[in-house]
Amino acid sequence: MNTLQDMEQLLLDGDLNALNDGIEKLQATTEYDLLYDVANLLIDYGFIGQADGIFSHLLLVFPDEAQLKIDRAAALLELGEEDEALLLLTEIGPDEEEYVQALLAQADYYQMVGLAETALAKVREASELAPHEPVIQLAQAELLLDSGRYSEAVRLYKKLLETAEELAGVKLTSRLAEAYSAGAAYEEAIPYYEELLNQETNPEELFGLGLAYYQTERYADAISRLKRLIEMDPDYFSAYMLAGQSHAQLNEDDKALEFYKMGIERDTFDKELQLAAGKSALKLQLPEEAERYLKEALVLDPEYIDALVTLASLYNQREEDELLIELLTYSEADQLEIPLLHAFLAYAYERTEVYKEAYEMYRKAYDGMNEDAGFLDSYAKFLLEEGKHAEAQRVIRQLVKIAPDAEEWTAYLEAQSEEEV
């Protein structure tokens, strides 16, 4: 006869044929306690399907055993059989000892299918039946955190922390740091992160502390923690971005670019790092380098609007009109209705004396750019050059409305009024 140790050895050896034979032999016996232990052993090793088969077999023998229903429901949830799991759980009534456990299992189900409020209702019902049970309070706090109700989650985690540092494998200090950060209470999160890192260095918590320092404008502290994180885990890609952003906030664009480059070396497919590197290069007056990074970002995502606008702006500033027109008319950008891009095209067409297209682009850009004095000034001058005086006056009136100190255009409108009189 196989013992529990024998079955575990088969798992360790990876002898699945012998394992399945052993399970079949056990199911032919009345060694139900051993069979139950084997099912839990299988779950520990990740063999959920085989464990479910055993629970199903045991339920045929003990159809009213509530704990078996809960155990099988948990296995079914892991296997994606949510509806069947819920049916089992709802068979357990309020008069049964396992009812509270069943309510928690139902909460897991409802959370899994995205019904957070229903999940919370089940946990609250369980809490009413067992108001002093820490595991239930923890389940409620976890659901509140998951559903974005951070202040309520913090209250429960703090209450639990009064009597224990860890519960059901959950570090309560870690959860408090996470809940405060998720609720943008970064100042309150910092002491919890620092306490955690004094006990054990963990990449996630190092990043969390770095982010909290960044959000509270303690950029030098953020950089020191993020450097430590990168040394610990060079593939923690978010650290490169945040370290670069921290340097940028200190106006250390050269150091920011260095971190972005380091990140790109580890992950060439990160379009956000490519964009950040491009923007830093622009600040450092390295247009060719900026262009390279921005173009790479667009290779990774041709509809990456921030990169597209930044590159188009660079071409516009340098009056590289052929490149600008090519960028915005022979790519996915051609399908994007973005007024600023239409304005860039209008400028490029005007400079290259393609006036028909310039006029069309000015018109397209107008509704979205009619609060931009620079655009309106260019548009008005273009219309006057083209002899479209009525349209020009409409644009100039809008310009004077948003920029009353535009003396040149104010004088123009006054002169036009005098001529009409």
The confidence score (pLDDT) of residue 42 equals 92
- Find the mean pLDDT for residues 156-161: 94
Tokens 């306490």 belong to residue: 195
The two structure tokens encoding residue 300: 């990774």
Amino acid type, 102: A
Q: Is residue 175 part of a domain?
A: yes
CB 346 within 8 A of CB 373: no
152 half-sphere exposure, CB direction, 13 A CA radius: 13
Q: Which two tokens stand for residue 270?
A: 């990160």
* φ/ψ (deg, to 5) at 366: -55, -50
* DSSP classification of residue 334: G
Taking a C-beta distance cutoff of 8 angstroms, is the pair 264, 272 a contact?
no
Q: Is the pLDDT of residue 419 over 90?
A: no
Provide the 8-state DSSP code for 24.
H
The percent of residues above 90 in pLDDT, for the chain, comes to 73
In a domain? residue 155: yes
Alpha carbon distance 89, 63 (integer Å):
13
Cα torsion 324, 326, 330, 336 to 10°: value is 10
Number of domains observed in the structure of the chain: 1
**pLDDT at position 384, please?**
94
pTM of this structure? 0.77
For the segment 168-183, the average pLDDT, to the nearest whole number, is 94
The confidence score (pLDDT) of residue 335 equals 65
Beta-bridge mates of residue 167: 170
Give the span between the Cα atoms of 146 and 138, in whole angstroms: 12
Q: At residue 420, does pLDDT exceed 70?
A: no
CB 189 within 8 A of CB 167: no
Residue 331: the pLDDT is 63
CB atoms within 10 A of CB 114: 8
Give kind and range of the element (H or E) at residue 170. strand 170-171
Q: Report the pLDDT value the prediction gives residue 22, as an integer from 0 to 100.
A: 86
Cβ neighbourhood burial of 37 (10 Å; 0-12, 13-18, 19+): middle
Q: Give the pairing type, strands 166-167 and 170-171.
A: antiparallel
pLDDT of residue 290: 97
* Other Cβ atoms closer than 10 A to 295: 15
Q: For 324-373, what is each residue's pLDDT tens digit?
A: 999 998 765 566 788 999 999 999 999 999 999 999 999 999 999 999 99
According to the model, what pLDDT value does residue 421 have?
46
Q: Is residue 183 part of a domain?
A: yes
pLDDT at position 2 is 67
Do 107 and 101 touch, CB atoms closer than 8 A? no
Query: Tens digits of per-residue pLDDT, 132-147?
Result: 899 999 999 999 999 8
Dist CA 420 CA 411 (whole Å): 14
Instruction: Report if residue 42 sits inside a domain.
Output: no
- pLDDT (tens digit, 9 = 90+) per residue, 255-288? 999 999 999 999 999 999 999 999 999 999 999 9
For 294-313, write each residue's pLDDT tens digit: 999 999 998 899 999 999 99
CA–CA dist 209, 227 (Å, integer) = 12
Predicted confidence (pLDDT) at residue 166 exceeds the cutoff of 50: yes
HSE, CB side, 13 Å, CA atoms: give it for residue 196: 24
Residue 182, domain extent: 132-200
Contacts of 5 (CB under 8 A, 6+ apart): none
The pLDDT score that the predictor gives to residue 415 is 81
Q: What confidence category does residue 173 fall into, taking pLDDT thresholds of 50, 70 and 90?
A: very high
**Helix (H, G, I), strand (E, B), or coil: what is residue 66?**
helix
- The pLDDT tens digits for 196-221 are 999 888 899 999 999 999 999 999 99
191 inside domain? yes
The tokens 């123009």 sit on which residue? Answer: 412
In this prediction, residue 307 carries a pLDDT of: 96
CATH of the domain at 155: 1.25.40
Taking residues 114-126, report their average pLDDT.
90
Cβ neighbourhood burial of 380 (10 Å; 0-12, 13-18, 19+): buried
Q: Provide the pLDDT for residue 418.
A: 65
- Interior/surface letters 140-171, b for 16+ CB within 10 angstroms, e for the rest: bbbbbbeeebbebbbebbeebbeeeeebeebb
Instruction: Establish if 182 belongs to a structural domain.
Output: yes
1 pLDDT more than 50: no
Determine the residue type at 94: P
In a domain, 153, yes or no: yes
273, part of any domain = no
